């Protein structure tokens, strides 16, 4: 076993790897960008090395700086985690050239399976069924031959980034251009392939483990069909769809896929499966790294996959063959992300002001967060994973819903409350899943309406802050009672805003402590976690800001008749297509804002003229920051 391992990653996966290194008595080396100088993974490692400025290209994606950090700290091996350089064949080769063990598969296997086109050809030759499709440079011709709907995918990467479902081939070329742009940003390679879209598909993957002595086994499957924007948010093991024969058949296909590329270490073979015919499964891709959802496999097999990555990389043999693998119980994982489901899952950001993450009694949270963590737009939006285990699926689901209700992340908008409601949806409870389910039911699981008790709680916090402290005589003018000399007391009210501004007058009993506020309305008591202007409960959170009606009125007067286009998320402006004075049509694309590797197009709300333009390509913007002002045609006349 190694003495020292450098973890070439950040966030929750870096913390996760460090935990196993500590359990094995192996010294851990963390790396960090300037933005992560005080991050949790930095504090938990035995030592840490600064890589450089915050952009990933100058820190976590810099092979040169990572190798230098390994040399300076005496590391013998590098664990890449997932994301960044985890599936970069050049980095794996550079580690070997530097005398370091890359804790992952051989570089040739990474290169082969990282090219989705070559990967499909290789596994098909090994007898594994693949989805019909085509590739560059005959992309358009192949798509038209397949017929709508088709799925565009980057050849060089995964994680749903750059994927586009095209149901109308008249917009095919526009979708191809957008997919290339996102693929180039995410992976540095804009090569695409196109595949036939399987309607209402299920996404099922097989975990494989291979040593350097020719032994390859699979550890059962994970169901990953609950997704948004082609990215997983809920995963579970095992899948309720598969019977024992199909599980064995898919497992054998996954093992053959791993053998076909000379695989070593932990990897995942992903399949698309028609929900009405599970026996007709198709190879999608192989992820040559540890998966985000690996904990559910760990809980049903009792194996520590990070430990076995390390042991295999150190030259050890697998402890048993396929007959030794046993799946027990059921596990479900939810990915807690910095995003707002009510706004189309747009990325969010901020500072973590209050944090509580459940652990124990069949519940595990893998997280890179701590109070004070700054969540920005530079890195992936996933903050943590909450995993629950039980003897059966119903128990695991119930435990996970309860754990998400306990999860508190105030200061950053997350999807925890949405995930809890999703897990209670009848189709999810019954196991009737497909990759489009979330999109179909999202409207029923989110709401822009703010419960009255939220405003009551926020007003109670503000009211408590106005009360004078200490005993003895109190000036009646300093008490927030509405008292006035010679007049009728006027109730104290507050101008507040979550979405639309309101004036709220507290009307119920309340109790305010440092981290909680309880209010009673119409005989019902509501308790919230609180921090600064945030209140939260059951995984949901509301940022209740003060609203100045006078200032808002002046702003409206300044832009009378015009519409201000604001940033829907904190991020960076990557494309500006107009200039001040340009005439634009309703729905015309004006700007592109990117955050956490996701693009959002800002379009004209109506025909008019660009009256103001406050950004240029490269401008960093905050949530709700004004980007441009469009004067309508009617106002001009």
Do the strands 201-210 and 216-228 form a parallel or antiparallel pair, or are they unpaired? Answer: antiparallel
Does an H or E element contain 534, and which?
Answer: strand 534-537
Asked whether 205 and 273 are in contact (CB, 8 A), the reply is no
* Confidence (pLDDT) at 135: 84
For 290-299, 525-534, 559-568, 626-635, which range has the lowest pLDDT when averaged over its residues? 559-568
- Interval 117-135 mean pLDDT: 92
Confidence of residue 123 (pLDDT cuts 50, 70, 90): very high
Dihedrals φ, ψ of 508, to 5°?
-120, 170
Q: Phi and psi for 229 in degrees, rounded to 5?
A: 55, 40
Q: Across all residues in the chain, what is the average pLDDT?
A: 92
pLDDT of residue 478: 55
pLDDT at 67 over 80: yes
Q: pLDDT confidence of 474, banded at 50, 70, 90?
A: low
240 lies in some domain: yes
| Last-in-domain residue among 163, 196, 229 | 196
Higher pLDDT among residues 624 and 388, named by residue: 388
Report yes or no: 130 and 120 within 8 Å, Cβ to Cβ.
yes
Does the residue 20 lie in any domain?
yes
CATH number at residue 181: 3.30.1490.20
Residues 335 and 392 in one domain: yes
Residues 6+ apart with CB under 8 A from 409: 336, 352, 354, 355, 369, 383, 416, 536, 541
Same domain, 291 and 414: yes
In this structure, the answer to whether residues 207 and 168 fall within a common structural domain is: no
175 within domain boundaries = yes
Residue 302: per-residue pLDDT? 97
Based on the domain organization, do 326 and 211 belong to the same domain? yes
C-alpha span between 296 and 235 (Å, rounded): 8
Residue with the larger pLDDT of the pair 484 and 254: 254
Q: With bands split at pLDDT 50, 70 and 90, how would you rate the model's confidence at 277?
A: confident
What is the domain count for the chain?
A: 5
CA distance 44 to 46: 7
Q: Are 457 and 352 in contact (CB under 8 A)?
A: no
On the question of pLDDT at 468 being above 70, the answer is no
Average pLDDT over residues 132-160: 87
DSSP notation for 586-603:
TT-EEEEEEETTEEEEEE
Out of 6-15, 116-125, 375-384, the most confident range is 6-15
CATH number reported for the structural domain that contains residue 52 in this entry: 3.40.50.20
Supply the pLDDT for residue 162: 82
The domain boundary, picked from 547, 575, 609, lies at 547
Q: Give yes or no: residues 160 and 220 share one domain.
A: no
Task: List, for residues 534-555, the tens digit of each pLDDT value.
Answer: 999 999 999 999 988 877 666 5
**Section 357-362 average pLDDT:** 96
Give percent of the chain with pLDDT exceeding 70: 93
Q: Does position 532 have pLDDT exceeding 70, yes or no?
A: yes
C-beta of residue 30 within 8 angstroms of C-beta of residue 45: yes
If you average pLDDT over residues 346-362, what whole number do you get? Answer: 95
| Section 602-607 average pLDDT | 89
416 and 296, same structural domain?
A: yes
For range 571-584, the mean pLDDT: 91
* Range 75-79 average pLDDT: 98
pTM: 0.86
Secondary structure E strands in 70-144: 77-79, 101-102, 133-135
Same domain (yes/no): 190, 207:
no
Cα separation, 23 vs 306, whole angstroms: 11
pLDDT at 563: 75
- Looking at residues 265-291, what average pLDDT do you find? 94
357 and 248 within one domain = yes
The domain that holds 576 is classified in CATH as 2.40.50.100
* Mutual angle of helices 305-313 and 11-23, in 10-degree steps: 70
CB distance 520 to 430 below 8 Å: no
Question: Three-state DSSP class for 308?
Answer: helix
Q: Cα 433 to the chain's mean position, in Å?
A: 20
Alpha-carbon separation of residue 224 from 248, 573, 597, 605 (angstroms): 18, 32, 21, 37
Domain boundary among 196, 212, 237: 196
Largest alpha-carbon pair distance within the chain?
A: 92
> For residue 448, what pLDDT is reported?
87
State the pLDDT at residue 636: 47
Residue ranges making up the domain that contains 146: 132-196
CB 178 within 8 A of CB 599: yes
Tell me if 122 is assigned to some domain.
no
* Residue 582: C-alpha distances to residues 368, 590, 604 (Å): 45, 10, 12
E runs forming strands in 197-249: 201-210, 216-228, 231-237
| Shared domain check, 329 and 190 | no
The pLDDT value recorded for residue 553 is 64
Whether 554 is covered by a domain: the verdict is: no
Buried/exposed code over 589-605 (b: 16+ C-beta within 10 A; e: otherwise): ebbbbbbbbbbbebebe
Digit-coded pLDDT (tens) for 195-250: 988 888 999 999 999 999 999 999 999 999 999 988 999 999 999 999 999 999 99
Burial environment of residue 137 by CB neighbours within 10 A (0 to 12, 13 to 18, 19 or more): exposed
Structural tokens at position 125 = 């030759």
Same domain, 178 and 216: no
Whether 118 is in a domain gets the answer: no
pLDDT at residue 584 greater than cutoff 70: yes
Same domain flag for 297 and 398: yes
- Report the percent of the chain where pLDDT is more than 90: 76
Rg for the chain (alpha carbons), in Å? 27
Is the pLDDT at 637 greater than 50? The verdict is: no
140 and 84 in a single domain? The answer is: no
Task: Give the DSSP letter of residue 167.
Answer: S
Q: Is residue 634 predicted with pLDDT exceeding 80? A: no
């Amino acid at each position: 076993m190694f003495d020292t391992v450098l973890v070439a990653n950040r966030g929750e996966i870096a913390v996760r790897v460090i935990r196993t290194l500590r359990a094995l008595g192996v010294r851990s080396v963390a790396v960090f960008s300037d933005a992560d100088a005080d991050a949790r993974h930095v504090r938990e490692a035995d030592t840490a090395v600064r890589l450089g400025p915050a952009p990933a290209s100058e820190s976590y994606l810099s092979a040169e700086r990572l190798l230098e950090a390994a040399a300076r700290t005496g590391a013998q091996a590098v664990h890449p985690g997932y994301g960044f350089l985890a599936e970069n064949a050049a980095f794996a080769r550079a580690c070997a050239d530097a005398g370091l063990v890359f804790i992952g598969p051989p570089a040739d296997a990474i290169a082969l399976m990282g090219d989705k086109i070559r990967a499909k050809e290789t596994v098909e030759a090994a007898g594994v069924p693949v989805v019909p499709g085509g590739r560059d440079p005959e992309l358009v011709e192949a798509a038209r031959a397949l017929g709508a709907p088709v799925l565009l995918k980057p050849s060089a990467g995964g994680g749903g980034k750059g994927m586009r479902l095209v149901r109308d081939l008249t917009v095919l070329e526009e979708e191809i251009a957008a997919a290339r742009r996102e693929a180039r940003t995410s992976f540095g390679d804009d090569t695409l392939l196109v595949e036939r879209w399987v309607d209402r598909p299920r996404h099922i993957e097989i975990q494989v483990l291979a040593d350097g002595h020719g032994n390859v086994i699979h550890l059962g499957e994970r169901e990953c069909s609950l997704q948004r924007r082609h990215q997983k948010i809920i995963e579970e093991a095992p899948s309720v769809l598969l019977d024992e024969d199909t599980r064995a058949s898919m497992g054998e296909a996954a093992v053959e896929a791993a053998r076909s590329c000379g695989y070593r270490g932990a990897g995942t073979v992903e399949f698309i499966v028609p929900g009405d015919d599970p026996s007709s499964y198709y190879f999608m891709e192989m992820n040559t790294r540890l998966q985000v959802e690996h904990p559910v496999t760990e809980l049903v097999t009792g194996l520590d996959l990070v430990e076995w990555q390390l042991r295999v990389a150190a030259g050890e043999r697998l402890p048993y063959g396929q007959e030794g693998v046993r799946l027990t119980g059921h596990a479900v994982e939810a990915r807690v992300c910095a995003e707002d489901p009510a706004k189309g899952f747009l990325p969010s950001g901020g500072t973590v002001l209050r944090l509580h993450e459940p652990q124990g009694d069949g519940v595990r949270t893998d997280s890179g967060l701590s109070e004070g963590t700054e969540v920005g737009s530079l890195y992936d939006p996933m903050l943590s994973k909450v995993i629950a285990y039980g003897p059966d699926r119903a128990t695991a689901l119930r435990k996970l819903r309860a754990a998400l209700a306990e999860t508190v992340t105030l200061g950053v908008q997350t999807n925890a409350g949405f995930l809890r409601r999703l897990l209670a949806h009848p189709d999810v409870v019954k196991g009737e899943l497909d990759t489009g389910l979330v999109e179909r039911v999202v409207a029923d699981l989110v709401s822009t309406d703010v419960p009255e008790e939220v405003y009551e709680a926020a007003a109670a916090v503000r009211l408590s802050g106005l009360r004078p402290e200490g005993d003895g005589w109190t000036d009646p003018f300093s008490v927030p009672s509405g008292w006035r000399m010679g007049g009728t007391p006027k109730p104290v009210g507050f101008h507040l805003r979550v979405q639309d501004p309101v004036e709220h007058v507290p009307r119920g009993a309340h109790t305010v402590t440092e981290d909680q506020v309880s209010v009673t309305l119409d005989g019902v008591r509501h308790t919230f976690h609180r921090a600064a202007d945030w209140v939260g409960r059951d995984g949901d959170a509301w940022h209740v800001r003060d609203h100045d009606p006078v200032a808002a009125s002046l702003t409206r007067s300044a832009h009378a008749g015009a519409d201000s286009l604001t940033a829907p998320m904190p991020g960076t402006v990557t494309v500006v297509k107009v200039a001040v004075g340009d005439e634009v049509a309703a729905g015309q694309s004006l700007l592109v804002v990117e955050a956490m590797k996701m693009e959002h197009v800002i379009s004209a709300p109506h025909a008019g003229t660009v009256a103001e333009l406050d950004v240029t390509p490269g401008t960093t913007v905050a949530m709700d920051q004004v980007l441009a002002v469009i004067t309508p045609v009617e106002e001009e006349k």
